[in-house]
Amino acid sequence: MFSKACEYGIRASIFIAKNSLEGNRVSPKEISEEIDSPQAFTAKILQALVANKIIKSVRGAYGGFEIDKKDLPFINLSQIVEAIDGNAIYSGCGLGLHKCNENHPCPVHDKFKGIRDGLKYMLETTSLEELALDIKSGSTFLKT
C-alpha cells in the first residue's frame, strides 16, 4: 500500500519521536540501523522529512535528528505519507488501473473506496506522539 520509502519514513519518524520524548537526538546511522534501511536511502528520506518540516536536523558534534516535543501531538501519519508518497494513496485504483473512477469503475472500486476512506481517517487521526508513547511503553515495537 505504501512505497518502501514511505514505510521507512514512518518508521524513522516514530523512532525519532520516541527519542525526542526522551530528550535525545539520533544520527542517520542509528535511524537506519533501527528501521533496517540502507543508510544512503534513509538519508534521502530524512531530507524529505526535514524539507516538509516534520523532523529537524541539527548539525554539529551533538547534532542529529529530532522533533520538538510540543509538536509531536500535532504531527500525524498523513503528513509523513504525503511528504514521501504524495496523496495518490487516497485516490488510486485498487487494481492499479489508470482510468478507474466513479464514472468508469473497476470491479473493486466501490469496496476499495471504503478501505481508502478508512485508511485516510486512520492516517489523519494518528499522531506521532501516540505511536512514540506506545513504543516507549513497550506495548508496540519497530524492530523484529
pLDDT at 53: 97
In a domain, 142, yes or no: no
In a domain, 18, yes or no: yes
Q: Cell 472500486 identifies what position?
A: 109
Report yes or no: 91 and 81 within 8 Å, Cβ to Cβ.
no
Domain harbouring 52, CATH code: 1.10.10.10
Confidence of residue 35 (pLDDT cuts 50, 70, 90): very high
Confidence of residue 20 (pLDDT cuts 50, 70, 90): very high
Say if residue 32's pLDDT is above 80.
yes
What average pLDDT does this structure show over 75-83? 98
At a CB cut-off of 8 Å and minimum separation 6, what does 43 contact?
A: 28
Say if residue 144's pLDDT is above 80.
no
At a CB cut-off of 8 Å and minimum separation 6, what does 69 contact?
A: 20, 21
In a domain, 45, yes or no: yes
In a domain, 35, yes or no: yes
CA atoms in the 13 A half-sphere facing the CB of 77 = 19
Confidence of residue 90 (pLDDT cuts 50, 70, 90): confident
Q: What is the CA 114 to chain-centroid distance, rounded?
A: 22
Number of domains composing the chain? 1
Percent of the chain with pLDDT over 90: 83
What average pLDDT does this structure show over 10-17? 98
In a domain, 144, yes or no: no
Q: How far is CA 47 from CA 13, 27, 43, 73, 138, in A?
A: 12, 13, 6, 22, 29
The residue among 88 and 21 whose pLDDT is bigger is 21
Its domain, for residue 56, covers 4-137
